[in-house]
Amino acid sequence: MCLLLSVGSVFAQGPYLTCSPFEETEGYGLPTHFVVLMNAQTYEVPAEWTVDNKPYLKFDLDGLWVEGPNYIQEVRAANFWGVSDPVPFSFAALPPYTPEGLDVGNDPHATP
C-alpha cells in the first residue's frame, strides 16, 4: 500500500510517495529499487531501508511538474532478478485558492 507523506523538516522536501516496508516472504526476494511510472516518465528509485533493515519506497514528488492536477502512476518493486506486478496509484495535486481579505496593518490572527 502506497501513501503520501509530507515531512516538515529543513532537510526534507516532500511530499513523498512511500510504501510499507517489505518483509522477507518465502518465494520472493526483497526489492533493491522501485520503478515509478508517472504520466509517461519512468523513474528508478533506490530502496530506502528501515533501521531493522527492511526496504521501502520513498520517492520525493517535490518539483515534479505534470500537466493538469491528476497524477497517474504505476509502481513496481524490483531487484536484480526481476520486477513485480504493477500497482496502479493516482492522486490529485491541487494548488491553494487565491488569498482573500488582504490588508496592510497589524496581524489580526496573531496570538496576543
Average pLDDT over residues 74-96: 89
Q: What is the pTM of this model?
A: 0.71
Give the model's pLDDT for residue 59.
92
Give the model's pLDDT for residue 25.
92
What's the CA gap between 108 and 31, in Å, rounded? 52
β-partners of residue 71 are 91
β-partners of residue 74 are 37, 88
What's the CA gap between 86 and 38, in Å, rounded? 12
CATH code assigned to 2-92 = 2.60.40
